[in-house]
Amino acid sequence: MRRVAAAAAAAILALTAPATAAEPRTTLPDVEDEVMCTTCNVPLNIAESPQADQERAVIRRLIARGLTKEQVKDELVEQYGSDVLALPEEEGVNLAAYLVPIALVVAMLAGAAITLPRWRRRTQTAQAQNTNEAASDAELKRLDEDLARWDR
Amino acid sequence: MRRTYVPLVVIASLALVVLLVYGVIGAGEATTLDDAVRAGEKPAAPTDALPLLAGGEASIADWRGKPVLVNFWASWCDPCKDEAPLMERAHRRLTAKGGTVLGVTVDDATDDSKAFMREHGITFPSLRDVEGELAEGFETTGVPESFAVDREGRIVAISRGQVSRAFVEDALKRVGA
């Protein structure tokens, strides 16, 4: 009877074990380049220090628990503070980090939209003037030829 | 270059040189806390309330009227391992006077800190300084660092780096333990 119970227990364990092992939903390299080594102030994927090694171990543990990249990052903020994120969170003053570059690009495009047509107009006018001058040269040449014929 | 720009360039260059000299001199100076303690002043210890590793919340102010040795540490820090037995002994002496060694973990995951405490037989309480508020208040530059805080909550001794037996003896004497 005991053997049957033990076999049944083993069978239950064998069936439940794969179910409890969480499926990885992200990878260490995927997380590593978006977080910082908090003591060395460089991205974790290029950091070499005891703290960086321990941070990687923490990430591996979190991945093994089946957490997504965002969940891993949230947990890292819980453990190491907001400085652990390589990119600031998209809220409050941190929004400036995202909005300022966009505003700069928009301003540059607007500047280009205003200045380019003017520049093109100016270039076309200059070309037209050059063409006129070229025509005058031709006329001058013909005039010279005519005068030369008269002199003969 | 037009002559009118020359004075501007000279002024800008001079300003840059002054800024560089100020930065170099400033970097070499000791922190203000160290200066104050060295001058015999007793600056007030920061009292930010932070979560405890064991759960709950605490502040240095909770030990007001009792001697405290604040110790910043992390489980990945080798000198912290070396000084752990000294800290634990200091804690036992302080508890006899109603005080404590108050650990503060920095850049360390909770599970790793707890494992470190188990491994080194640490029994003193430790705060989790996740955002570095207390570390900033104590002007720390790394771990380990230790600060003796007297019964009035004032810093009377500082050790930047691993503590020596002599420092611990002197610090305990200063806080009356």
Q: Determine whether the interchain pair B109/A53 forms a contact, defined as Cβ–Cβ distance below 8 Å.
A: no
Q: What's the ipTM? A: 0.77
**CA–CA dist A128, B78 (Å, integer):** 78
- From chain A, the residues in CB contact with B78 under 8 A are 50
Q: How far apart are CA B106 and CA B120, in angstroms?
A: 17
- What does the pLDDT read at residue B11? 85
Preferred mutation among B53, B78, B130 to probe A, highest tally of A CBs within 10 A: B130
Interface contact flag, A51 B131, Cβ < 8 Å: no
pLDDT at A125 (0 to 100): 82
pLDDT at residue A1 above 60? no
Average predicted confidence (pLDDT) for chain A? 84
H/E element, A42: strand A42-43
Whether pLDDT at A89 is above 80: no
Contact B130 A79 (CB under 8 A): yes
Any A CB within 8 A of B109 CB: yes
Banded model confidence at residue A79, pLDDT cuts 50, 70, 90: very high
Mean pLDDT of A67-93: 90
- Of A75-89, A96-110, A116-130, B94-108, where does mean pLDDT reach its minimum? A116-130
Judged by a CB distance cut-off of 8 A, whether residue A81 touches chain B is yes
A48 in reach of chain B (CB within 8 A)? no
For residues B79 and A91, the model is more confident at: B79
Rounded-to-integer distance, Cα A49 and Cα B173, Å:
36
Predicted confidence (pLDDT) at residue A90 exceeds the cutoff of 80: no
Mutate to test the interface with A, among B108, B129, B131 (most CBs of A within 10 A): B108
Query: In this predicted model, which residue has the larger pLDDT, A92 or A36?
Result: A36
Give the residue, B176 or A151, on which the prediction is more confident.
B176
pLDDT band at A140 (very low <50, low <70, confident <90, very high): confident
Low-confidence ranges of chain B (pLDDT < 50): none
Which chain B residue shows the shortest CA-CA distance from A61?
A: B111
Q: Which residue has the tokens 């009356």?
A: B176
Confidence at residue B103, expressed as pLDDT on a 0 to 100 scale:
98
**C-alpha distances out from residue A41 to A100, B26, B72, B106, B163, Å:** 23, 21, 19, 14, 26
Average pLDDT over residues A40-55: 96
Alpha-carbon dihedral A86, A91, A94, A95, rounded to 10 degrees: 110
B44: contact with A, CB 8 A cutoff: no
Do A74 and A112 meet the contact criterion of CB atoms below 8 Å apart? no
Q: What are the strands, taking DSSP E only, across B10-166?
A: 50-51, 57-58, 68-73, 100-105, 126-128, 145-149, 155-160
**Number of Cβ within a 10 Å radius of residue B158:** 22
pLDDT band at A18 (very low <50, low <70, confident <90, very high): very low
Q: What is the DSSP letter of B46?
A: P
Residue A36 host element (H or E):
strand A36-37
Contact indicator for B74, B120 with CB cutoff of 8 Å: no
